Amino acid sequence: MNRSRRLIMLLALLVPVSAKAESTSLEECLRLALSANYALAVTGHDRQIAEEGVVRAKSGYLPRLDLQGGYTVQAKPQAVQIQNFSAETQDANFGFLSVSATQTIYDFGRTASRARRASLLQEATSRDYEAREKEVYLQVVEAYYGILEARKLLAAAEEEVVQRTDHLRIAKNLYEQGVVTRNDLLQAEVKLADSRQQRLGAANRVENRWLTLDYLTGRPLSFRADLSEASTAAQLPAPEDAERRAVANRPELAALARSVEAGEAEVVEARSAFYPELYVKAGIDYVENSKVREQTIYSATAGVKINLFDGFASTARRREAVESMMKQRDSLRQLREQIRVELRTALNDARVAADRIATVEQAIRQGEENLRINRDRYQEQVGTATDVLDAQTLLTQIKTDFYRAIYDSQVATARVRKAMGEL
């Protein structure tokens, strides 16, 4: 039994084993990515941080309670001097305790602007998380179809090994019969070695893409399964309709729009630093002092406070807030254009991939026929070994182009959906 037949039988024996392997679908991988992806887990903390920022910003609506206490030791107590008479007014050592409650009555919108900005940033963070989800979804789709593509390319590489193993057998038989020169035999051996090297590279690409998919879905890096040939191909929308849907659905746009509004609220907050703040305060102050009658003082205060000069810090902060707001507006315009380019590029790639499939699919049959003719011609000694090897290389290249076109189409379709915010 020759080597090619043994290899074919070995592959046939492996088919039942792989059929029993665990299977997984694209939908399951996407579901796992949503719950177990490491990047999403990290981004998820930003939402919790933003929620706490809202609580902190709204704390200005509530009163502030302060408690202070301690024990003071003095070298000498304070005293008053009246002519030649001196009288101590406090104990040398004493304890003290102070409790106060301060409530802001009106601050010209400072607290309201701070709270509005925090709420808008929280919403922006949530939309950023949605955008990150869609990025991860696209990465999963690319990895998933990348494995399917790599497996097809591996099968094509293995088929080429079988073909060239069979060609080497034929060349060896003809050489032993004295019909061909040793050059044909050496050429067949070199080409077979090259095909085996290509097969090793194809197998390595399969493994590397599995590592990527396992990482994205939070699975153990040793996980392997059969992947279903699910299709994401769909009728492509018109560019104008796709752009309209992208503007309406892309979470990045919504997130940046909220950031612009938050920047406007920050400008209002920064301007309020130039206005006074009205407040009321209630307090209890206790100082241990045997020299006085009232050691505990109860007080209530209604007051106003305003900063007169802070080294131009408030002015710089207002200018900084204005520049930050303008930056966010420019970023929003930039993002709209980037999305348009991303969408048009994905649409073009999807259309070209579909055309490639239709073109290359017919070429496979022609390549198989070309290989059969050249192989028969070589066995009948009316063709050369180079013609056979070139036909094998051509057929492998055609199949490679076909498989790549199929999965390029799948990924491009997913990119279109992601660009429209519908993945």
- 44-53: Cβ within 8 A, 24+ apart: 44/129, 46/125, 46/128, 46/129, 47/122, 47/125, 47/126, 47/129, 49/125, 50/118, 50/121, 50/122, 50/124, 50/125, 50/126, 51/122, 53/118, 53/121, 53/122
Give the pLDDT of residue 141: 93
The neighbour count for residue 379, using CB atoms within 10 Å, is 14
Three-class SS state of 72 = strand
The neighbour count for residue 352, using CB atoms within 10 Å, is 14
pLDDT band for 16, please (50, 70, 90 cuts): very low
Q: How far apart are CA 234 and CA 21, in angstroms?
A: 30
Q: How far apart are CA 28 and CA 177, in angstroms?
A: 58
Give the pLDDT of residue 21: 57
Give the pLDDT of residue 15: 38
Q: How far apart are CA 220 and CA 121, in angstroms?
A: 35
Give the pLDDT of residue 114: 94
β-pair type (296-305, 79-82): unpaired
Q: What's the mean pLDDT in 109-135?
A: 94
> Tokens at residue 197, please?
């090297």
For the chain, how many residues are written? 423
pLDDT at position 189 over 80: yes
Give the pLDDT of residue 354: 87
Please state the separation of Cα 45 from the chain's center in Å.
Answer: 14
Query: pLDDT, tens digit, for every residue of 302-357?
Result: 999 998 998 999 999 999 999 999 999 999 999 999 999 999 999 999 999 888 88
pLDDT band for 293, please (50, 70, 90 cuts): confident
Q: How far apart are CA 63 and CA 99, in angstroms?
A: 13
The CA-based dihedral angle spanning residues 172, 177, 182, 183, taken in that order and rounded to the nearest 10 degrees = -80
Give the pLDDT of residue 23: 87
Give the pLDDT of residue 89: 87
Give the pLDDT of residue 5: 44
Residues 6+ apart with CB under 8 A from 126: 47, 50, 255
pLDDT band for 382, please (50, 70, 90 cuts): confident
Give the pLDDT of residue 234: 65
pLDDT at position 31 over 90: yes
Q: How far apart are CA 182 and CA 168, in angstroms?
A: 12
pLDDT band for 169, please (50, 70, 90 cuts): very high
Give the pLDDT of residue 291: 86
The CA-based dihedral angle spanning residues 410, 414, 417, 421, taken in that order and rounded to the nearest 10 degrees = 180
Q: What's the mean pLDDT in 225-242?
A: 80
Give 159 or 231, the one with higher predicted confidence: 159
Q: What's the mean pLDDT in 53-74?
A: 95
pLDDT at position 386 over 80: yes
Give the pLDDT of residue 360: 86
Mean pLDDT of the chain: 89
Sorted by where each starts, the structural domains of the chain and their CATH numbers stand as: 3-63+108-274+311-419 (1.20.1600.10)
pLDDT at position 406 over 70: yes
Q: What's the mean pLDDT in 240-249?
A: 90
Which is nearest to 266 in space by CA: 102, 64, 53?
A: 53
Q: How far apart are CA 224 and CA 213, in angstroms?
A: 10
